[in-house]
Amino acid sequence: MKYRWAIPLAVILLLTGLLGCVQKQEEMVLVVGTSADFPPFEYKDPNTGEIVGFDIELIKLIAQRLGYDRVEIKDMDFDSLIPALDAGQIDVAIAGITITEKRKQEVDFSIPYWSADQAVVIRKGSGITINDIKDLYGLTIGVQTGTTGAIFVEENVGQNATIKEYPTYVEALQALITGQIDAIVVDTPVAQRFTQQYDVEIVHVFQTGEQYGIAVKKGNTELLNKINQALQEIMNSNEWNQLIEKYFGSSS
């Protein structure tokens, strides 16, 4: 009797094992790290709480071209993105990340996909005038920890001003609106979005010539090459113009 049951049981176990393998292989997931406080690149939809934005749609288009079944978005503080890549917690990071020589020592970057400078944003009616870097002296300036805006202010203003770092630009903006700080220094595309939504204005732009890239773990050349190919194809397609039109109102 026990031999009659042994064969069917073995078949069942074999099929169960094969089914488990198929289920594990059938879904390819790209785990993406971002910092959802950087509109219009990444932010939370106020109605749904979903993380949306230019970068989010871009990485989903890339994932689709690379054959991934879905994209998993992980929201974290900006200065946690590179450590998360290094630890293997995420596959890629996209968050308006400026390509710098220091960061290139820690991660690998895709080809650039966006250019930006640093803008000084103040409350409307505050009477602050900025014409050069020395006009920031004596002010209380808000920046986001780990960003090129923070680096720019630290290197060019230093102890000549009070610099307050915030985990997110949302917190820095709130501090500006409530009068806790005099100004924030932030990338130009984000500054422009803030002026459309809040009672603030851009008073000066410092030409820093920054470029954004998608970051992958150092040495992950296979994934980087695939991302570069897909990114270049998208930038050469009408999908790129449609993305720009959707989030910036112009395809030029």
Concatenating the DSSP letter of every residue in 8-57 gives HHHHHHHHHHHHHHHHHHS--EEEEEE-SEETTTEEE-TTT--EESHHHH
In a shared domain, residues 204 and 134: yes
CB 149 within 8 A of CB 37: no
Reported as a pLDDT band with limits 50, 70 and 90, residue 82 is very high
In a shared domain, residues 109 and 219: yes
Number of structural domains in the chain: 2
Q: What is the mean pLDDT of the chain?
A: 92
> Nearest 5°: CA angle at 154, between 156 and 117?
65
Model confidence, pTM:
0.84
Predicted local distance difference test score (pLDDT) of residue 111: 98
In a shared domain, residues 193 and 235: no
In a shared domain, residues 121 and 204: yes
Predicted local distance difference test score (pLDDT) of residue 26: 77
Q: Does 115 have pLDDT greater than 60?
A: yes
Q: Is residue 64 part of a domain?
A: yes
In a shared domain, residues 109 and 217: yes
What is the mean predicted confidence (pLDDT) over 95-99?
Answer: 98
Reported as a pLDDT band with limits 50, 70 and 90, residue 4 is very low
Predicted local distance difference test score (pLDDT) of residue 249: 86
Percent of the chain with pLDDT over 70: 89
Q: What is the pLDDT of residues 176-204, one digit of tens each?
A: 999 999 999 999 999 999 999 999 999 99
What is the mean predicted confidence (pLDDT) over 45-66?
Answer: 98
CATH code (residue 196): 3.40.190.10
Domain that holds residue 226: 27-113+213-248
In a shared domain, residues 70 and 101: yes
Q: Residue 230 belongs to what H/E stretch?
A: helix 221-235
Q: Does 218 have pLDDT greater than 70?
A: yes
Would you tell me how many other CB atoms lie within 10 Å of the CB of residue 188? 19
Q: Is residue 20 part of a domain?
A: no
Predicted local distance difference test score (pLDDT) of residue 252: 42
Reported as a pLDDT band with limits 50, 70 and 90, residue 17 is low
Q: Does 231 have pLDDT greater than 70?
A: yes
Question: Alpha-carbon distance 150 to 226, whole Å?
Answer: 32
